[in-house]
Chain A
């Protein structure tokens, strides 16, 4: 997936002089390409659940690649995806999934109680300070929302 997600290849081929690579267009492009790849592999017998997972992974990957290294959550997400990709190729992922590093809940007493839940939700949130966590949450929320809108419009297009 990495080879097709390289932003440089696309920007210099774009003949449109007004083209500005804004976030949504990049995200849409990546996600749709990923979908195309998954659909290309559709003739193979893939169960719906597996395709669901592939599509979900493609959704998060498109989010993470589009955000790039700008945010902690995208970096953490990319690292997680690449790790899982390597482990998947080595067929070790099933074992890895059960390993959970438990962060002590009392490590940050000055935060509100729900901060730990937020840390679990936002990728890479375990090691961030609280105010950085809030900033990352804001950006992550925006990306998630645009991804959801993208997928929703795709579903509407395909099912109508």
Chain B
């Protein structure tokens, strides 16, 4: 274990359990940690293999479920950003902390981890880099989003730069197999305690003891209720934005919430303006409708398909202008809208039913009209119109 090569093997193989099991997992981690502490204590015994730690073996860490179990037990820190965390814990106090930090540093950023405690806090304070790297660690953002129920938004957004005073330690334990390298003290509590805040069944890590003040949780989701809830909320919002993206035509290429929102607003405004414009057109078109031109309105196929409807309609029909309009418009709509409507299918059956229902309604209306209009002139005009229609 003193060889750099061995250390690399150690990193690669020992976590599979080749270490003396008598040591137990604590021993493993402490031994692992001992590899790194010399770096801090300027002990020249073990050349710190930090430069030797390849990112590939870092991935192997992720894949090793045994390591994950051990890590979970001994740490409660998310795999993303250990730097601020290790500020608090001190490397000696936490067996896996330094190791985790170093691993993370190597795996994520590729920097040389700082030698001193202060260095840990200061050097690897690169939150943005940590997001993109180590995709295997990136298990939680999506999953954790569902777990959050009641968290504020600041922590979620500014996780990297904020300091979580007192309680919060940023991490979540996801139920998926994604391994998380966690540093922390309250390992036992993590597995035992489940947060009951969330509606999800995913286990939440409990808040660590109050020793930790600086916790950066860029990729790791904050454990406090505010950021968890905020993450859930953001997940919902992103789902709905996707739904809206499908609805608004021509928004497939648009990315980003702000542009999408602009598109949505423009589309709704244009639809409302179209309603206004079409209502204006309908107001001008309707009274000018000439009955002589009505037969020309309908295409032949609609005519044929609607003929049985007309036959059933005419006995009831009282040839109110509106009613004839309604008939033809319904038939025209059936042909016109079938071409348009993809989602809601307006079938001819529906149209026929509409017409039948409209017949009933119009029959009642006509009775009322007959009572109202005492003049025979209007009635005779209506009868003439009905004759015209029967000729059609």
A, B bound: yes
B residues within 8 A CB of A160?
296-297
Residue of A nearest to B246 (CB): A138
* A25 surroundings in chain B (CB, below 8 A): 346, 350-351, 353-354
B16 within 8 A of A: no
A158 contact from B241, B258, B275, B325, Cβ within 8 A: B325
Which listed residue, B240, B257, B330, B351, touches A138 by the CB 8 Å rule? B240
In the complex, whether B267 has a CB less than 8 A from a CB of chain A is yes
**A153 contact from B261, B274, B337, B354, Cβ within 8 A:** B337
Interface residues of B in 259-302 (CB under 8 A from A): 261-262, 264-265, 267-269, 271-272, 274-276, 278-287, 289, 296-297
Assess whether A104 is interfacial by the CB under 8 Å rule: no
Q: Is A59 in the interface zone, CB < 8 Å from B? A: yes
Which residues of A102-147 are within 8 A (CB) of B? 110, 112-115, 117-118, 121-122, 130-131, 134-135, 137-138, 140-142, 144-147
Q: Are B352 and A55 in contact (CB under 8 A)?
A: no
Which residues of B have CB within 8 Å of A150? 333, 337
In the complex, which of the residues A10, A15, A48, A145 contacts B283, with contact meaning CB atoms closer than 8 Å? A48
Partner of A131, one of B233, B328, B333: B233
Contact A144 B272 (CB under 8 A): yes
Chain B residues whose C-beta falls within 8 Å of the C-beta of A15 in the assembled complex:
356
Residues of A contacting B341 with CB < 8 Å? 24, 146, 149
Residue from B330, B343, B344 whose CB has the most chain A CB atoms within 10 Å? B344
Chain A count of residues within 8 A CB distance of the other chain: 67
Whether A69 sits at the interface, judged by CB under 8 Å, is: no
Query: Is A140 within 8 A of B268, CB to CB?
Result: yes
The residues of A that contact B325 with a CB separation of less than 8 Å are 35-36, 39, 158
Q: Is the CB of B241 within 8 A of A134?
A: yes
A29 touches B322 (CB 8 A): no
In this complex, which of A54, A115, A138 has the most chain B Cβ atoms within 10 angstroms of its Cβ? A138
Residue-wise, chain B 292-330 has the 8 Å CB interface mask toward A (1 for contact) of: 000011000000000000000000000011110110111
B275 and A28 contacting across the interface, CB-CB below 8 Å: no
Q: Taking the complex as formed, is A52 at the interface, i.e. its CB lies under 8 A from any CB of chain B?
A: yes
Q: Inside 8 A of A148's CB, which chain B residues have their CB? A: 271, 274-275, 278
Listed by A's residue number, 26 A-B pairs whose Cβ atoms lie within 8 Å are A16-B349, A16-B356, A19-B353, A24-B346, A25-B354, A35-B329, A36-B365, A48-B283, A51-B286, A55-B280, A59-B275, A59-B279, A60-B275, A113-B258, A114-B262, A114-B265, A117-B265, A135-B243, A148-B274, A149-B336, A151-B275, A152-B336, A152-B340, A153-B337, A155-B278, A158-B286
A residues near B, CB below 8 A? 4, 10, 13-16, 18-19, 22-25, 28-29, 32-33, 35-40, 42, 48, 51-56, 59-60, 110, 112-115, 117-118, 121-122, 130-131, 134-135, 137-138, 140-142, 144-160
Task: Identify the 3 closest CB pairs spanning chains A and B, nearest first.
Answer: A157-B332, A153-B336, A36-B322
